[in-house]
Structure 1
């Protein structure tokens, strides 16, 4: 195996696949990155057995020669060392050559490294996924869906299924739900090329967070293919595989109230900043609790009280308040996460009582819904 490659393009590819490599991999070879080179270009693969990322660097792109291959071949190199070496090489021209006994020579300018590789035959194969359940959505929309839901997954492994986001395809719509049993985020998206069958999967939150880092700023379509155990995202030259969580996701639809007693219309950015200020004195408290009072006027009061530190009260103007008076307490962090997901739009908060879950959504748009359970303080 012998080829020359532009260092900047190799670094771009490595930055993608490194996201899947763990230094604590259960299978030793997975601490490495697999390189496959031929006349077409270079495939780089990284995996921790939960996530597998493969990226392709073509030999030629837009008339520019990126890779010159003298001899095709495959090798697995220690990810940590290979990535650091490439990052610190002195020129943009790199030559990589594998000689007998998996000895790998990396040359650039007057610098030459010798790494001992591993046999690529020992590296796990890519998961096989049928194309039956396939659809595509623009990358920028996919990033929004992830950002608006993944923060609400559970951080606790006591119920592993809740560490993932539930993706359901039903009646031409993608419904994504995340909950940690104290709050819930739901995003609905109409699919233009939806599969005929309805089905659902649970994608680990960590996988979606890593995918989000790779997607970049394009709005090119991302192909999504689901099987019983794996999901594959295809974005440009990158293939991103994730295992799925096993088990039944709880029926969350019954958590969402069907009737409300108090509706408050308010600017999301203004409310977020107010709660952020109120939480300054609540941060030391175990629950970071903020109180919210609506007395029927067009002003709501945000307050927080910490016996050792002091207290804060702030009036927030609303567009309108409809329904009963209300006093309720909630986690400032959960409320701020929900408001950030809705991104500063005018919102409506709908309450069913001081100890019942309440929802937040955009005043103009029903596609995104956030639900929070209150905290008992009164």
Structure 2
């Protein structure tokens, strides 16, 4: 196997596949990256058994030659070492040659590295995913869906199914829900041609976070295929496989209140900044709690009190305030995460009393809903 490649192209592809390589794997060959060279181009594959990422670099793109292939073949090279070498090579021209016993030579400028490769046939096959039930989502929209939900997954392994985001195909569209049982994030997306055979899957939060780093901000569609155990996200030159989480995701619809006693309409950015300031004093406390109280004349107060440090109070003018007066306490972090996902827009917050979950929505967009459970402070 022998080829010359533009270093920048190889580095970009390596950056993507390295997201799937873990040094903690129990399968030694998975600490490597598989390189397959064909006459069409080069495929790089990285995997940690849960996530598998494969990228493709064509021999030429937009009339520019990226790779010159002298001899096809396959090799597995130690991922971290190979990535570091390519990153630090002195020129943009790289020549890679594999001789007998998988001896691999990497040359660039005056640098000449020799690496010992591994048997490529021992590298696991790609997961099998049928391409029948396809969902197509523009890349930038998929990125937004992940940003608006994934932060609310559970970090505790005591209920593994809650460490993922539930994707559910219904008549309303695609409903994406994440909850850690203290808060909930939901995004509804209306899409054409949703598959009838896929009802509900749970995609690990970790997988979606890594996928988001690979997705571009363009509206180029990402094709998504789901089976019982795997999901495949397919872009123009990347295949991203993830295993799905097993278990029944709880029915979260019943958590969302039907009626509200107090409604506040407020600038989301202003509220986020006030909670951020109040949390400076709350941060020392174990659960970082701030208090939200309604006042007269369309005003609310955000306050926090820490016996050892001091207290803070801040009044904010709101756009609209209706219903019963209210004092409620909640986690500053949860509220800030929710407001960040709505991206600084004006929000409506609807409360059902001091000890009941409350919801936050954007005024302009009904498809995003955040729900938070209050904290008992007395």
TM-score by length of 2: 0.99
Equivalent residue, structure 1, for 2:208: 208
In structure 1, the gaps of 5 or more residues are none
Return the offset for 1:296.
4.5
Return the offset for 1:172.
5.8
Equivalent residue, structure 2, for 1:123: 123
Secondary structure of 2:281's aligned partner: coil
| 2-structure distance, mates of 1:107, 1:345 | 52
TM-score by length of 1: 0.99
* TM-superposition CA deviations, 1:232-261 (whole Å, max 9, x none): 001120000000000000111100001110
Is 1:171–2:171 an aligned residue pair? yes
Equivalent residue, structure 2, for 1:4: 4
| 1-structure distance, mates of 2:202, 2:25 | 23
| 2-structure distance, mates of 1:328, 1:196 | 43
Secondary structure of 1:375's aligned partner: coil
Equivalent residue, structure 2, for 1:153: 153
Alpha-carbon contact 1:46-1:52 (below 8 Å) kept: yes
Alpha-carbon contact 1:172-1:192 (below 8 Å) kept: no
Equivalent residue, structure 1, for 2:101: 101
Alpha-carbon contact 2:133-2:198 (below 8 Å) kept: no
* TM-superposition CA deviations, 1:76-114 (whole Å, max 9, x none): 000011001111111111111110111011111111111
Is 1:268–2:274 an aligned residue pair? no
| 2-structure distance, mates of 1:240, 1:338 | 27
Return the offset for 1:61.
0.6
Secondary structure of 1:280's aligned partner: helix
Q: Trace 1:112-261 onto structure 2 (pairs within 5 A).
A: 112-171=112-171, 173-261=173-261
Alpha-carbon contact 2:162-2:179 (below 8 Å) kept: yes
Equivalent residue, structure 2, for 1:322: 322
| 2-structure distance, mates of 1:137, 1:270 | 32
Alpha-carbon contact 1:296-1:324 (below 8 Å) kept: no
Return the offset for 1:132.
2.1
Alpha-carbon contact 1:202-1:249 (below 8 Å) kept: yes
Return the offset for 1:196.
2.8
Secondary structure of 1:250's aligned partner: coil
Equivalent residue, structure 2, for 1:110: 110
| 1-structure distance, mates of 2:28, 2:61 | 35
Alpha-carbon contact 2:25-2:48 (below 8 Å) kept: yes
Return the offset for 1:38.
1.2
CA RMSD between the two structures: 0.9
Alpha-carbon contact 2:278-2:312 (below 8 Å) kept: yes
In structure 2, the gaps of 5 or more residues are none
Give aligned pairs, total. Answer: 378
Secondary structure of 1:371's aligned partner: strand
| 2-structure distance, mates of 1:197, 1:229 | 14
Alpha-carbon contact 1:167-1:176 (below 8 Å) kept: yes
* TM-superposition CA deviations, 1:100-131 (whole Å, max 9, x none): 11101111111111100001100000001112
Alpha-carbon contact 1:226-1:232 (below 8 Å) kept: yes
